[in-house]
Structure 1
């Protein structure tokens, strides 16, 4: 059954690499210890020593497989080298083409490569270079969204495309509970990747106010208001917090560069100012006008009603999916 056996893991549950540093060692270790795949997020700048530090700290908290997510749109060459030198179990890639040379280099280091794609074309290229699994992200996903297709149409198309190639397909976008898990399995996925649900956990590095909003609010919007200068051409799905609703029609020529500083934060060991519309989500170190900062969330956020330990999220997903399949879809059902 789809909740077991994927990539040698106990369960087919992947925790998305939550940027910029929301999925730190504590969350990643908790997910991996519970039988899922925890993914750290590499910095969006070259910082190989910090990457090594993150990996080594995570190893003090778990002896299970975990990985690191790298956004290829940002400087990453030295970070990648550190990740492969450390021989983590998985390298997760997004926002860029996965070169065959990198896949071969990773495999020589014993590292599995798992790109995230948002289109059939990206999936075809990834399958061609010999990746170990593919995460298919639908438009329902929170944060920066790769493609324009919904998961229900894109996922089975990718499954059909890679059929027979022994490449597990993992579904991402709007999945927050066991019903989404079972739906993804029905569409051909062998696992699921959750982001927003893991932001709203006890171990996540998100600011408490951000976590509270994920529980309190249930609606999102696809927008490009945040981070236009820093990351152009990377629209995002955000919570409909009051600040965003006031500014959602921000003129296209406006961006964060000429905006006031609304807070400060420390990300991956670097102190940073946060300007209005910067797109920096608040972590636990963030101070200032938290309510006016970006809060990314997928469309499944309305199903999140409480902050849970990450291990409990995985337990409910797996046991709930097993029960749902047995009770609702089993051939033995009378």
Structure 2
């Protein structure tokens, strides 16, 4: 059945590479130990020694395979070398062109490569490049969103495009429970990728206040208010916190570059200032005006009622999908 494995993993569930460092070794290992695919997030700057330590740390916590996600919009060549040298199971790439050369590099190292796309055209390019699977992201997703189409229309179009090529399609965007999982399977996907639901877990590196907001706040909005200077032209979906509601109409010419510092954080081993309207979510080390910081979330956030262990999330998704399938499709 559809909840069974993809890419050699026990279950068709992927934990998104939550940035900048929310998906750390403890979260990824917990997901891997539960039989799903956990993805570390590579630093958004070349930091090969630090990334190697992240991979090694994860391997002390799990004997299962896992992957690393890379944002192609930022420097990544040195980090990529480490990922391939360490021969992690999966290289996930996003926000950039997944070229045939990149695919060949991954395959030469024995690493599977999975791009995340938001359009049919990007999916076609990925197929032509020879990728191992494709994550199809709908506009419902939290964090940075590269496409404009909703998941319910985009997934079937990409499924039809893939045809009988044997490339698994993984649905991403607004999925947080077993109902979303089964719906994705009905659209033709073989797996699902979840971000927000895994931020709201005990093992994620998100600040407790961020996790609390994910449980308490029900509404999100697609915007470009945060991080305009560092990552221009990169829209995102965020929680509608009181701060966001007050500043949602921030003029297009304004950005974080000349705004006051509202906090500090250690991100991937580097001390960072956080300015007003920066695109950096609060992690466990963050101090300052947390209420005024960005908090990414997908449209399914209203379905998250509690913070759970990551392994329990995987279990609930699998068992729930099995139950729904038996009740509704196997009568």
Q: Taking structure 1 as the reference length, what is the TM-score of the superposition?
A: 0.99
Aligned to 2:101: 101
Distance in 2 of aligned mates of 1:104 and 1:165: 18
Structure 1 residues 1-334: aligned runs within 5 Å: 1-330=1-330, 332=331
Distance in 2 of aligned mates of 1:65 and 1:6: 13
Distance in 1 of aligned mates of 2:321 and 2:97: 33
Superposition deviation, residue 268 in structure 1: 0.2
Question: SS where residue 252 of structure 1 aligns?
Answer: coil
Distance in 2 of aligned mates of 1:258 and 1:129: 41
Distance in 2 of aligned mates of 1:35 and 1:193: 14
Superposition deviation, residue 102 in structure 1: 1.3
Distance in 2 of aligned mates of 1:252 and 1:207: 29
Superposition deviation, residue 65 in structure 1: 1.0
* Count of residues paired in the alignment: 331
Question: SS where residue 92 of structure 2 aligns?
Answer: strand
Superposition deviation, residue 105 in structure 1: 1.2
Distance in 2 of aligned mates of 1:70 and 1:24: 14
Superposition deviation, residue 108 in structure 1: 1.1
Superposition deviation, residue 78 in structure 1: 0.5
Q: Taking structure 2 as the reference length, what is the TM-score of the superposition?
A: 0.99
Distance in 1 of aligned mates of 2:231 and 2:96: 13
- Summarize deviations over 1:96-129 as a string: whole Å, max 9, x none: 0011111111111110000000000000000101
Superposition deviation, residue 260 in structure 1: 0.4
Pairwise CA RMSD of aligned residues?
0.5
Distance in 2 of aligned mates of 1:318 and 1:38: 15
Distance in 1 of aligned mates of 2:192 and 2:163: 18
Distance in 1 of aligned mates of 2:256 and 2:203: 30
Distance in 1 of aligned mates of 2:6 and 2:133: 9
Distance in 2 of aligned mates of 1:152 and 1:4: 21
Question: SS where residue 7 of structure 2 aligns?
Answer: helix
Question: SS where residue 250 of structure 1 aligns?
Answer: coil
Superposition deviation, residue 329 in structure 1: 2.1
Distance in 2 of aligned mates of 1:328 and 1:99: 41
Unaligned runs of at least 5 residues, structure 1: none
Question: SS where residue 237 of structure 2 aligns?
Answer: strand
Distance in 2 of aligned mates of 1:2 and 1:73: 33
Superposition deviation, residue 163 in structure 1: 1.2
- Summarize deviations over 1:65-85 as a string: whole Å, max 9, x none: 100000000000100011001
Distance in 2 of aligned mates of 1:165 and 1:147: 24
Distance in 2 of aligned mates of 1:72 and 1:105: 15
- Summarize deviations over 1:304-328 as a string: whole Å, max 9, x none: 0000000000000000000001012
Superposition deviation, residue 299 in structure 1: 0.2
Question: SS where residue 6 of structure 1 aligns?
Answer: coil
Superposition deviation, residue 295 in structure 1: 0.1
Question: SS where residue 316 of structure 2 aligns?
Answer: helix
Superposition deviation, residue 5 in structure 1: 2.5
Question: SS where residue 147 of structure 2 aligns?
Answer: coil
Unaligned runs of at least 5 residues, structure 2: none
